[in-house]
Chains A and B, each alone.
Chain A
Amino acid sequence: MSYESLLEVTDLINEYVACIDDDDLERWPDFFTEQCIYRVIPRENADAGLPVAVMYCDSRGMLQDRIVALRNANIYAPHFYRHLVSNTRIVGESGDEIKAQTNYAVFQTLLDGETKVYNVGKYEDTIVRVDGKLRFKEKLCIFDTYRIQTLMVTPI
């Protein structure tokens, strides 16, 4: 893979987490292809070969529905996210697809001002080019922190 392509992939991931951290969630589905897979999977299930994910969307429409629900339906403690991501490993390339893995940590801050490590895990991304731009065709968030504090409403 060329250096420029690697930069483009890491740029996609950096923009993705910035979009969430900046609460620009209406734009979040745009990082995915129309037909896509987004799954947030507790590590204990991934390790045991069990299929349950706490979020499982198989279309961009479902991602949009998540955000509308977050904005209008769901009740949760007001909070901020801050993602820190590792350098990205390119683990495969075939045809138009790039497979990349990135570790992440999400810190959550509630209105009392205390910051806690909320969710730590690994992105396993399958990235394709659509209309000249890289998009996630599949994004798996396999999280080590499989005991979720209270609930999960904001995507990882």
Chain B
Amino acid sequence: MDARVTGGMDLNWPEPGVCDAVPYGVFNEREVYDREMERIYQGPTWNFLGLAVEVPNAGDYKSTFIGDIPVVMTRDDDGNIYAWENRCAHRGALVIRDSCGSSDGSHTCVYHQWSFNNKGDLIGVPFRRGLGGNGGMPDDFDMKENPVRKIRTEDYKGAVFGTFDWDMEDVDSYLGGDSVVNGHVKRIFNRPVKVLGHARQYIDSNWKFYAENTKDPYHASLLHLFHMTFGLYRSSQTGGVRLSNDWNSVLFSESGTDDEKAMEEIDDAHLRTFQSDYSLEDMSLLAGRAGEWNDNTTLVILSIMPSLVIQQIQNTLAVRQILPKSESEFELVWTFFGYEDDDEELTNIRLKQINLIGPAGMISMEDGESSVICQQAISRSRNARNVLQMGGRTPEDQDHLVTESTIRGFWKKYRELMAY
């Protein structure tokens, strides 16, 4: 039977509407993965494709993925960005073979040189009328009927999204319209950005373990021990979580010293030995620039399902694209950026803070690792369930960070989309 119909239906799901636990089989079965590619990634979702500044000029292109499907985004002479599946309409070869580049506006498959314009329409077919009267395409061959598969796109304040669902609401509503979540997207994308560079991680884990991680504010002080180790009391314990459309979320925290009692509670919570004998030799690592956004917010983690994380941590700005590669592998592509009008000092601050965040980030390198050790542990735990009860049993906005509320929101929406 077709996995897209049956995959994962027989898992040990809790009652409909209950989202404080999920069976581990959802993380390691091919049938579930195939169903996700069908119902989530090619379903009613907006997937992050890239930053608009990655294709600044007409003819520029970037190849990427929606789920595990190769796609291309290009900018046309009309100034708009288009996207299409990176599969030649002829015999299925990749049309674009490099990760980014510039073109004259035509994209030619190397195999038989079918050629497509920026919008994905077929504009050239060699030997269409044959050679010396022999061969060629039939008379009724219609170029208009053979474009590459097109993807609807929207450039939302400099972040480009794509969807296979042409009936989708627009990105603004998808992010929650006037919601706090969307407010944080607009706060970060408030003016033109510039790309500072990329980093890529390949992680032997199901993509949803990472999705859970990006919606989980309370692991921060438990898994990530950088601040504790160097006796840097982090102020990130005052903040909250907000949801939009159930599964998009923002975790945010504000500067301002925590009160003594709260710090004691955090210390008490630590079962691993609390280290405070160390101090940083070079404090310049933490010397950021305060007040960049004229507010006290120092940490924003936006988790926009299914494929995007947008972050501001101190002065580090980045988008992280989650690319599933199989039921037990995903790639995480980081694009670090600043604003076009950044001065040199601010650029250097952002570059230096990548030491804290990213594949080698001293604060948070553990996130990839936590996903791996989950994948390794659940190999035979198909019907066992995890526990997602921190901060209650329902998805809801909360004014603190000791919660798994946002993870519950993710699973609520996930079950709806997957029809589990």
- Mark A residues whose CB is within 8 Å of B: 40, 42, 44-45, 48, 50-62, 64-66, 68-69, 72-77, 146-153
Q: Is B157 close to A, CB under 8 A? A: no
Q: A73-B225, A76-B365, A148-B202 are in contact. Are A62 and B351 (CB under 8 A)?
A: no
| A56-B359 in contact (CB<8A) | no
Q: Which of B223, B275, B352, B360 contacts A152 (CB 8 A)?
A: B360
Chain B residues positioned under 8 Å from A65 (CB to CB) = 230, 280-282, 285, 362
Q: Which of A40, A146, A149 has the most CB of B within 10 A?
A: A149
Q: Is B199 close to A, CB under 8 A? A: yes
Is chain B's interface secondary structure helix, strand, loop, or mixed overall?
mixed
Known contacts A40-B360, A61-B282, A66-B362, then 16 further A-B pairs from the complex at CB < 8 Å, ordered by chain A residue: A42-B198, A45-B197, A45-B198, A50-B197, A55-B360, A56-B355, A57-B355, A59-B284, A62-B282, A73-B275, A74-B226, A74-B365, A75-B369, A75-B370, A151-B360, A151-B366
Mark each residue of chain B from 369 to 393: 1 if its CB lies under 8 Å from any CB of chain A, else 0: 1101000000000000000000000
| B200-A148 in contact (CB<8A) | yes
| B359-A52 in contact (CB<8A) | no
| A54-B336 in contact (CB<8A) | no
CB distance from A50 to the nearest CB of B (A): 4
Give the docked Cα–Cα distance between A75 and B200 (Å): 19
Chain A residues positioned under 8 Å from B369 (CB to CB) = 75-77, 150-151
Q: Which of B204, B352, B359 has the most CB of A within 10 A?
A: B359
A64 nearest CB neighbor, chain B only: B281
Give the docked Cα–Cα distance between A92 and B195 (Å): 32
| B278-A147 in contact (CB<8A) | no
Q: Which residues of B332-348 have CB atoms within 8 Å of chain A's CB atoms? A: 336, 347
CB distance from B340 to the nearest CB of A (A): 15
Chain A residues positioned under 8 Å from B228 (CB to CB) = 73
Chain B residues positioned under 8 Å from A66 (CB to CB) = 355, 362
| A-B Cβ contacts below 8 A, count | 133
| A72-B200 in contact (CB<8A) | no
B229 nearest CB neighbor, chain A only: A73
Q: Is B85 close to A, CB under 8 A? A: no
| B200-A147 in contact (CB<8A) | yes
Q: Is B196 close to A, CB under 8 A? A: yes
Give the docked Cα–Cα distance between A45 and B195 (Å): 10
Chain A residues positioned under 8 Å from B352 (CB to CB) = 56, 58
Q: A69-B362, A76-B366 are in contact. Are A53 and B201 (CB under 8 A)?
A: no
CB distance from A140 to the nearest CB of B (A): 14
A67 nearest CB neighbor, chain B only: B281
| B229-A68 in contact (CB<8A) | yes
| A51-B351 in contact (CB<8A) | yes
A55 nearest CB neighbor, chain B only: B360
| A74-B225 in contact (CB<8A) | yes
Q: Which residues of B233-253 have CB atoms within 8 Å of chain A's CB atoms? A: none
Give the docked Cα–Cα distance between A60 and B280 (Å): 11
CB distance from A96 to the nearest CB of B (A): 25
Chain A residues positioned under 8 Å from B331 (CB to CB) = 147
Give the docked Cα–Cα distance between A152 and B362 (Å): 10
Q: Which of A54, A60, A61 contacts B199 (CB 8 A)?
A: A54
| B229-A44 in contact (CB<8A) | no
Give the docked Cα–Cα distance between A77 and B358 (Å): 17
Q: Is B171 close to A, CB under 8 A? A: no
Give the docked Cα–Cα distance between A68 and B196 (Å): 28
Give the docked Cα–Cα distance between A45 and B282 (Å): 26
Give the docked Cα–Cα distance between A26 and B224 (Å): 22
Chain A residues positioned under 8 Å from B362 (CB to CB) = 65-66, 69, 73-74
Give the docked Cα–Cα distance between A61 and B283 (Å): 9
Q: Which residues of B242-280 have CB atoms within 8 Å of chain A's CB atoms? A: 275, 278, 280
* CB pairs A–B below 8 angstroms (18 shown): A45-B198, A51-B196, A54-B199, A55-B355, A59-B282, A61-B282, A64-B281, A69-B229, A72-B225, A72-B229, A72-B278, A75-B223, A147-B331, A148-B199, A150-B204, A151-B359, A151-B369, A152-B359
